[in-house]
Structure 1
Amino acid sequence: MRVFAVVVVGLLVEWAAVVAAFGAWGVLPTLGLLVLGGVVGLVLLRREGTRALGAFSEAVRTRRAPHQEVADGVLIAAAGLLILVPGFLSDLVGLFLLFPPTRRLVSRRMARRAEERERALLLNLRHGRDPMAGGVVVEGDVVDLAPRTPATGPARPELP
């Protein structure tokens, strides 16, 4: 639900910025800037995508876990999607994700959040709490109480 709200608010802000640019600069300069941002973004996307794919191949070839390379690939794909969306703010965020130094900052923060969530999940499991249901995990055995009649046969098929 939170992601949906962020997307809706982002689209509203994006369209407000485009409408304000139309009002301030006119139609042709605004469209020119949108096209220019898309072209520059796509050129950078191609370059960074090729570089990330090469780094991933190198990591696999040297038998090293490609954690950073996978994160870079995901962020580059997100940047490509943001650049394809018409608008100034999405282009800026997409370009922000395409530059390696800023992409490293974002991927480190994502990794830190994932580690914190993993730690919390393991702590909940260790204390007997089910993180998905919010309840307590009760260990036990399943007992099949289905009646076994000759007409229906056993509840579970028996192996020969």
Structure 2
Amino acid sequence: MRVLFLLFALLPILEIAVLVHVGGIIGGWNTIALVLFTAFIGAFFVRQEGLSTLQSAQRKMQRNEIPGGEMLEGLMLVIAGVLLVTPGFITDILGLCLVLPPSRKWIARHAARHMSMRVVTAAQYHQQPSSQGFKRSSDSNVIEGEYTDRSGNDNSRLR
């Protein structure tokens, strides 16, 4: 939470400082033109890469595979689109890193590994008390539990 606050507090200040510095070097109108140019080019690249990622996800779904990597890359392309349309050079550089396929795949691979470690860790240590119907047995592949059959049958407990 603190990192996001610092990011949202410091990033605009840094962007303004860079824009003023670049404006002092190449002129104000040229800086505005450069920011608009990067927004249009970024939107074009996001569209192209988004279509490519969508086609890849569709191919995987046709082979009955889960397009998890493509979904993560699609999310990264949405973030890249927001960053590229936001005025500023720092956000443009970050957005460009998320649009270019080699860097996007590298970031997605590391993000997926980080997320899977967090999910596995949370699943290993999150155990509900047996009074609520679930408990972890000694065999890690078996989860014992109770259920209620609401269809009227008398089989209300399963072991």
Partner of 2:10 in structure 1?
9
Deviations 1:5-62 (A, max 9, x none): 2222222211211111122221111111111111111111111111111111111122
Alpha-carbon distance between aligned partners in 2 of 1:55 and 1:77, rounded to the nearest angstrom: 16
TM-score by length of 2: 0.75
Could you tell me how far 1:120 is from its partner in structure 2?
2.2
Q: Distance in 2 between matches of 1:100 and 1:4?
A: 29
Counterpart position of 2:53: 52
* Letter in structure 1 aligned against 2:11: G
Q: In the alignment, what sits opposite 1:42?
A: 43
Which consecutive aligned stretches of 4+ in structure 1 deviate over 4 angstroms post-superposition?
none
Structure 1 counterpart of 2:101: 100
Aligned positions, number? 131
Deviations 1:58-77 (A, max 9, x none): 11122111011101100111
Letter matched to residue 58 of structure 2: S
Aligned counterpart, 2:146: none
**Scaled by the length of structure 1, what TM-score is found?**
0.75
Give the aligned residue type for 2:77: I
Unaligned runs of 5+ in 1: 127-136, 142-160
The more displaced of 43-52 and 5-14 is: 5-14
SS of the residue aligned with 2:126?
helix
- Give the letter aligned to residue 52 of structure 1: T
Larger mean Cα displacement after TM superposition, 73-82 or 33-42: 33-42
- Displacement, 1:139? 5.0
Q: Which residue of 1 aligns with 2:79?
A: 78
Which structure would you say has the larger Rg? Answer: 1
Q: CA RMSD in A?
A: 1.7
What fraction of aligned residue pairs are identical, expressed as a percent?
26
Gaps of 5+ in 2: 133-159
